[in-house]
Structures are given as structure tokens and as C-alpha cells.
Amino acid sequence: MKRLASILTIVVLYVLALEVAIFSRSVKAQTDTHTHEVGTAPDRSAGEVLKDIWTRDKFTGDWRGLRTDLADHGIDIGLRLSNYWQWVADGGSNRTGRYGGTMDYRLNVDGKKLFGLWEGLSLNMHARSRFGYDVNKYAGDFSLQNAGLLMPSPGGYHGGDITGLTVTQFLPFFRGRLANITLGKLDVIDTVTMFFPWIGYGQEGFSNVNGMVSALPWFGAVAGLSLYGGYAVTVNQKYMQAESGILATGTKNVSTSWGSLSDSFKDGVWLAAFHRFFWELGDKMGYFMVFAGGSTRDQASNEPRDFIEIPGQGIKDTSTKQPWDIAAYLYQVFWQAEGNPNRKANFVIGGTGGPDNPQFAEWHLFAAVEAYGLMASRPDDRMGVSGFYNGLSSNFKDLVSPAIDLRDMWGVELYYNFAINKWLHLSPDLQLIRNERKDDDFVVIPGIRLVMDF
């Protein structure tokens, strides 16, 4: 499976080489125009080639018609390179900067178009290659300041993985709704994005997980972010958002092979259910959402995770219980431009509560305001500010106190996403965090994110 990411990388590099060759040929044609005979049309100028590349939807364009032809036959390919520069400018355990990035490969196959199968059947794959480093261990283990670098593995990592490989079936339902049934290996962040479309894998809006969704308590219930499982949800067609549903996954991240399916569930099952109550306030959409879930697996609060460092993992915890959480979200659009519903501003308030044991976090609150196309002259820009507070479990803090003194944590994030063109986005970001370590000073994390769609 991991070879597929490498193959797709080679394809991308080949397309880029082809673009360079075309560009070089055009430059040569421009300098040699005087050698053309009368009546012979010269190749496009270098300026025309650059303008064409700059105005494309994707950097590599239509691949000489191949991309459109594939889409017509039910094969859509998405390629995205995300680059992150972040610095611990003050506070934390060390003042330092790091660079890291990911290449995301997405393949969506329409079963009806490609194979002539029944309507609404699709195969979806998400593979990631990750390189470089993040600053999480310097900013705080629970700071989660970069959602884009959580997978496949935090810290310093070079490699790839299939994070999501699912089969989805959409079915007609009732009263303006669709039923969506998905089975396979779930990329957890992709799945959460189904509930909260503004997340965008930390590549478009907020970077800090704590400031975009109420996540930290839930992270204590599973050991990985790529899990076998499935969900069945209804989709409100008026708002094109999931309305209600149930989810079930394993509790342990395993390698991407069907032979490992049973390993994901051998220690228990994580179950959840939700419902979203929609309304309109002055023709602007809003909703209230209730989400509840829990695990059938008995666990300790300080057991290892593959996507986050948990303080006190060397300390033996003899108390194990089954984790559960209840969350609530309030969302409302409060401004929308006339004639362009994509230009809008909204706020979201969310929170989660759970038991003091066995999870390392007991509760979480956050609030965020985001604006899309606030200025008419820049309709594709995006900006936001969020704040969060995490209440750590008292039992967990007492357990690890011989090794490290912990405290509740809070933070603020501000970002602005400049849409340079359709395929290139630059986002400066600033995070101010009081992390979980009592001995650490207040953390200041400036950063820059550059995202390219190929």
C-alpha cells in the first residue's frame, strides 16, 4: 500500500517535468521567433505560458486533457503539497523553529461511471507522505499546534501511509435527505471534516486542533488516527451537511492491510452517535449539534498514543476504565454577502465533558469566528480567530506528578489565508498558548503555511 504513495509522487514529478519542458520550449520559441518563416505561427510566448499556469485551477493543469478524461470516466485525482514553518519564539521548553510538510494523494472512483455499477457507489483513498519536523514537543505535548503534521506520525518523520481507504454508498432517503454508508479504513481527521467542513485538515483554516474542534478529550479514547470502521449518516440536502448518524471503529491504529482488520477491534470498539438540529436566522444557516461516544475497551489514562506524547507513560497505572464523552456545538452564520453566499462570516462554540478517569483530559471549551471573502476585492481569502481551554483530569495529573507537574491549558490562534491564486495559498499564523507544563513559560508560536494544489 505504501508503494502507491511513491508511485503517485513519481507521477507528480513527471507532470512537473513535462510542464518545465513545455515552458522551456516556449521560451526558446519566443527568442527564436525571428527565424520563423512568414505564415508560420510561433509557439506561445513565455508570458502566455506563465499566465496560463497562474490562472489554472491546479498547478499542473488538465494534463493535456487526461485529467478531464479521467473525471468523465469517474476517476478524480487530488494532489496537495502543504508546507509548514513554525517557531517557538518564546516560552515552551526550547526556543526553536522547524519545517515540515505533507503530500496528500486523494483518489475518488465513481463506481457508476467507471464500472457501470449502481448509482452512488464510490471508492475513496487518502494517502500521505510526510517529511520534516514539527515543534510540538517544544510547545507542549497537548498544544496540538499543527493538525496538518499529526499524521502519519508526529515529531520527525519521513515516510508515507494509506490513512484512509473506504467504500461509500449514497442511498435515497426521505424528506430531502440522503443516506451515506461508509466502510473501510477511516482517516479520523477526514471523518471529523465530514461533521465540520471548515476544518480542512488544518491546511486551509486554523492550524491548532484545540481551536478548531473539541478534540483533546476524544483523543484519550483511541490509540490512533487511522482506524478500521464505518459510519451511517443522513445528509441534509438543503445544507449539504451530515444531520444524524452512528459511527463504529476499532480502538487501535494498525498497518494498512486487510489482514490486520481483526487487530483493530481485538481490544474493543469505539461507538458514537450524533444529531444536528438545523435552523435559519434571517435566512442564515445555523445549528445545534449533540455528539456522544465511548469505548468498550478498559484503558489507563497514560497509555501510549501513536499521534501524541502522553506525559508519565513510564508510570504504572493500575486503574483502568472505559472512556466516554458528550459534546455540544453551536454554529451560526451571522453575515453573508448579497449575490455570493460563499462570502460569509460565522461563529462556532463547542465543548466536551467526560469522566475524570481514564482519559487524560476531562473537558474542553472553544470558540471561533471565521470570515470568508470579507473584502469584496479578495473573495477567496479566509481569516479567523479562536480560543480554547482544556481541563486535564485531576486523576491523571496526580498520577504523573512524580515525573512532571501539569496544569490546565488554554490558548488563542489568529490566521489569515491569502488566496494568491486558485492553486496557491499562503497563511501567516500566530498562536499564544499556556501549555500543560507548570514549569514552562507562556508559548508564542508564529508560523507560515504554504499550500499548493497540483
**Residue 254: its pLDDT value, please?**
67
Q: What is the mean pLDDT of residues 213-219?
A: 89
The answer to the question of residue 17 being in a domain is no
pLDDT for 260 equals 64
Give the DSSP per-residue string, 179-216. EEEEEEEEEHHHHHHHH-TT-GGGTSS---HHHHS--H
Do β-strands 269-281 and 284-295 pair in parallel, antiparallel, or remain unpaired?
Answer: antiparallel
**Residue of 93, 90, 97 lying closest to 135 (CA atoms):** 97
Distance CA(360)–CA(40), nearest Å, equals 73
Buried b (16+ CB within 10 A) or exposed e, 177-209: bbbbebebbbbbbbbbbbbbebbbbbbbbbbbb
Q: Check residues 184 and 37 and name the one with the higher pLDDT.
A: 184
- Residue 221 located in a structural domain: yes
Question: What total number of domains does the chain contain?
Answer: 1
Question: Is residue 71 situated within a structural domain?
Answer: yes
Question: Is 200 in contact with 212 (CB distance < 8 Å)?
Answer: no
Other Cβ atoms closer than 10 A to 60: 20
DSSP H or E segment with residue 164: strand 159-172
Q: Please tell me the predicted confidence (pLDDT) of residue 305.
A: 82
Residue 437 DSSP class: B
Residue 31 φ/ψ, nearest 5 degrees? -75, -20
How far is it, in rounded angstroms, from Cα 185 to Cα 249? 9
d(CA 16, CA 25): 14
Average pLDDT over residues 105-134: 90
Mean pLDDT for the chain? 87
Domain range holding 368? 56-453
pLDDT for position 255: 58
Is pLDDT of 451 > 50? Answer: yes
Classify residue 11: in a domain, yes or no: no
pLDDT tens for 394-442 read: 999 999 998 899 999 999 999 999 999 999 999 999 999 999 999 999 9
Residue pair 303/319 in contact (Cβ under 8 Å)? The answer is no
Which residues have CB under 8 Å from 237's CB, separation 6+?
176, 177, 178
Is 81 inside any structural domain? yes
Q: Is residue 48 part of a domain?
A: no
pLDDT per position as a tens digit, 350-396:
999 999 989 999 999 999 999 999 999 999 999 999 999 999 999 99
Helix (H, G, I), strand (E, B) or coil at 373: coil
Q: Examine residue 14 and state whether it is found in any structural domain, yes or no.
A: no
The CATH number given to whatever domain includes residue 211 is 2.40.160.180
Reading the block at residue 25, the C-alpha cell is 520550449
Of residues 327 and 30, which shows the higher confidence score?
327
In a domain, 407, yes or no: yes
Rounded CA-CA distance 26/49 in Å is 7
pTM for this structure? 0.86
Please compute the mean of the pLDDT values over residues 233-251 and round it to a whole number. 91
| Cα diameter, the chain | 88
Res. 283: pLDDT tops 50? yes
Other residues' Cβ atoms within 10 Å of the Cβ of residue 441? 12
pLDDT at position 85 over 70: yes
Q: How many helices (H) and strands (E) does the chain have?
A: 10, 17
pLDDT value at position 47? 79
